[in-house]
Amino acid sequence: MTNKSKTLYTGMTDNLERRVYEHREKLVGGFTKRYNITKLVYYETTSNVLTAIEREKQIKGWIRRKKIALVEAMNPQWRDLSEGWFGDAIFINE
């Protein structure tokens, strides 16, 4: 995820839609709230939680240039991949 300044955040979740909503609505304190990280620009999926944790750690260990290359390979315009997910509806936290 990112913001207007392209500050990058990497995280892992079992529910991407819920997690993006939490970041957008500032429901979770910390880095994403402090830096207004609200835009989903890249994601990967797996059904294996251990694989997801390993991948998150791997990406977090990369230099910024490599992270940017990863995003731009899939999303060169840095468009918000979650655009239109929520509309005006209220998301009910499960």
Average pLDDT for the chain = 93
Give the pLDDT score at 87: 75
Domain residue limits at 12: 1-94
Give the pLDDT score at 66: 98
Q: How many domains in the chain?
A: 1
Question: How far is it, in rounded angstroms, from Cα 80 to Cα 52?
Answer: 22
Question: How far is it, in rounded angstroms, from Cα 38 to Cα 19?
Answer: 10
Give the pLDDT score at 86: 85
Domain of 10: which CATH number?
A: 3.40.1440
pTM: 0.88
Give the pLDDT score at 36: 97
Please report the sign of the dihedral spanned by the C-alpha atoms of residue 69, residue 28, residue 38, residue 34. Answer: negative
Question: How far is it, in rounded angstroms, from Cα 79 to Cα 67?
Answer: 16
Give the pLDDT score at 48: 96
Question: How far is it, in rounded angstroms, from Cα 12 to Cα 56?
Answer: 6
Helices marked H in 3-93: 16-24, 31-34, 49-60, 64-74
Give the pLDDT score at 91: 53
Which residues of the chain are modeled with pLDDT < 70? 88-94
